[in-house]
């Protein structure tokens, strides 16, 4: 089978972004969403894509390759589609109801995949029989789809081998993805390790009294991680996303998983969300701009959040651990200062956790490294 036409179900930020990247490859796309009486969600999503920065489209004309519609009036548009990508709410009942509709019109042998990051493959496909299971897999894109290279591919024992090969090749050659095959486990590879790393980073900063500025200064370029560090990354993806990820992980992880041991529901996080400090998309997060557009940082208090805890962000300079990056990781984590102790604690916990997960989450340590390099932009990966 050759993939010549694709459909994306769900026109939110991720779904519309995937549709845009498929269109960038010159492949026609059908973008469908639920029907509302006063809004054409899919059409509005494409209009929003054209105004988004950084641009999801390589050229605005690529938007013409996207045909929009809804799941009530336009299901027939799916009859000749080769690959249907589901990107609806992370709710098993919603996904099953969606598959019921898709299964009624899709052509025999067409591929159907989910962009889920939390629901096991066997739970998604189970109600629909072997024919559906043979055509089904998980294709987990990272946001924004044009710029994030990782695509996590999860299959079952029933998924057709030729289908897996076709999807992997299409995503590699046409979409420019680094395809990493993962086991059907909670969070797959990148988020399983990434969520643990972020939790370990927040824990250590609170426990050691390390400022968010120092934490991010050392847990970034000096150790081969993007300049956002941990707190800057949480601001980028959304402070409100963190409790949701934690809830998902805690509901599916094995009882003895180390994440359960380190997880802490800090009251200040709930306070931030309640006050509208959800990160860059909100009033700010661990960082914000004051009335004069000067950067402020939040002083961490485990027990409560207050706007009075914001102060002018310190410029971190002269710290041995931060300056030691060019000398290698050992120099950073052995530096006798707050940054060195912080980096040692976070990285030792994270690397030990990564080592404990193979072969549970992946066949090889190389797959884990590749997932973290492509999904979180780590320079080296944990191994």
Q: What architecture does CATH give domain 192-376?
A: Orthogonal Bundle (1.10)
Is 332:343 a contact under the CB 8 Å cutoff? yes
Domain span(s) for CATH 3.40.50.720 in the chain:
6-182
Homologous superfamily (CATH) for 6-182: NAD(P)-binding Rossmann-like Domain (3.40.50.720)
Q: Count Cβ neighbours within 10 Å for each residue of 311-347 and write b for 16 or more, e otherwise.
A: eebeebeebebbbbbeeebebbbebebbbbbbbbbbb
Cα gap 19→46, rounded to integer Å:
9
pLDDT at residue 191, rounded to an integer: 95
pLDDT at 318: 86
* pLDDT value of residue 124: 96
In which residue ranges of the chain is pLDDT below 50? none
Per-residue pLDDT reduced to its tens digit, 199-212: 999 999 999 999 99
3-state secondary structure the chain: CCCCCEEEECCCHHHHHHHHHHHHCCCCEEEEECCCCCCCHHHHHHHHHCCCCCCCCCCHHHHHHEEEEECCCCHHHHCCCCEEEECCCCCHHHHHHHHHHHHHHCCCCCEEEECCCCCCHHHHHHHHHHHHHHCEEEEEECCCCCCCCEEEEECCCCCCHHHHHHHHHHHHHHCCCEEEEECCCCCCCHHHHHHHHHHHHHHHHHHHCCCHHHHHHHCCHHHCCCCCCCHHHHHHHCCCHHHHHHHHHHHHCCCCCHHHHHCCCCHHHHHHHHCCCCECCCCECCEEECCCCCEEEECCCCCCCCHHHEEECCCCCCCHHHHHHHHCHHHHHCCCCHHHHHHHHHHHHHHHHHHHCCCCCCCCHHHHHHHHHHHHCCCCCCC
Both tokens of 39, joined, read 């809004």
Q: Where in the chain is the domain with CATH 1.10.1040.50?
A: 192-376
In this structure, is the dihedral angle defined by the CA atoms of residues 323, 326, 329 and 335, taken in order, positive or negative?
negative
């Amino acid at each position: 089978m050759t993939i010549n036409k694709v459909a994306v179900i769900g026109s939110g930020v991720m779904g519309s972004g995937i549709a845009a990247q498929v269109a960038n490859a010159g492949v026609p796309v059908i973008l469908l969403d639920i029907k509302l009486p006063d809004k054409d969600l899919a059409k509005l999503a494409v209009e929003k894509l054209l105004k988004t920065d950084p641009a999801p489209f390589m050229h605005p004309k690529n938007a013409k390759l996207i045909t929009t519609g809804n799941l009530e009036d336009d299901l027939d548009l799916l009859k000749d589609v080769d690959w249907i990508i589901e990107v609806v709410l992370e709710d098993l009942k919603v996904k099953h109801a969606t598959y019921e509709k898709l299964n009624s019109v899709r052509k025999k042998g067409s591929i159907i995949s989910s962009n889920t990051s939390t629901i096991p493959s066997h739970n998604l496909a189970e109600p629909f029989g072997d024919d559906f299971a043979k055509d089904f897999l998980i294709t987990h894109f990272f946001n924004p789809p044009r710029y994030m290279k990782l695509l996590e591919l999860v299959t079952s024992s029933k998924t057709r081998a030729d289908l897996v090969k076709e999807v992997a090749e299409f995503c590699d050659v046409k979409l420019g993805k680094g395809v990493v095959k993962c086991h059907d486990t909670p969070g797959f590879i990148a988020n399983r390790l990434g969520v643990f790393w972020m939790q370990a980073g927040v824990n250590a900063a609170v426990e050691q009294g390390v400022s968010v500025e120092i934490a991010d200064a050392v847990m970034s370029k000096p150790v081969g991680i993007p300049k956002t560090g941990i707190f800057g990354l949480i601001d980028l993806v959304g402070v409100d996303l963190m409790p949701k990820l934690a809830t998902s992980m805690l509901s599916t992880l094995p009882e003895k998983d180390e994440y359960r041991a380190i997880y802490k529901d800090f009251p200040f996080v709930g306070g931030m969300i309640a006050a509208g400090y959800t990160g860059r998309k909100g009033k700010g997060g661990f960082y914000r701009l004051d009335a004069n557009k000067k950067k402020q940082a939040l002083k961490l208090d485990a027990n409560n959040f207050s706007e009075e805890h914001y102060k002018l962000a310190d410029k971190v300079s002269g710290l041995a651990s931060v300056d030691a990056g060019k000398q290698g990781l050992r120099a950073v984590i052995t530096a006798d200062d707050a940054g060195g102790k912080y980096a040692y604690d976070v990285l030792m916990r994270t690397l030990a956790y990564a080592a404990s997960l193979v072969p549970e989450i992946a066949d090889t340590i190389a797959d884990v490294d590749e997932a973290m390099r492509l999904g979180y932009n780590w320079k080296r990966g944990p191994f």
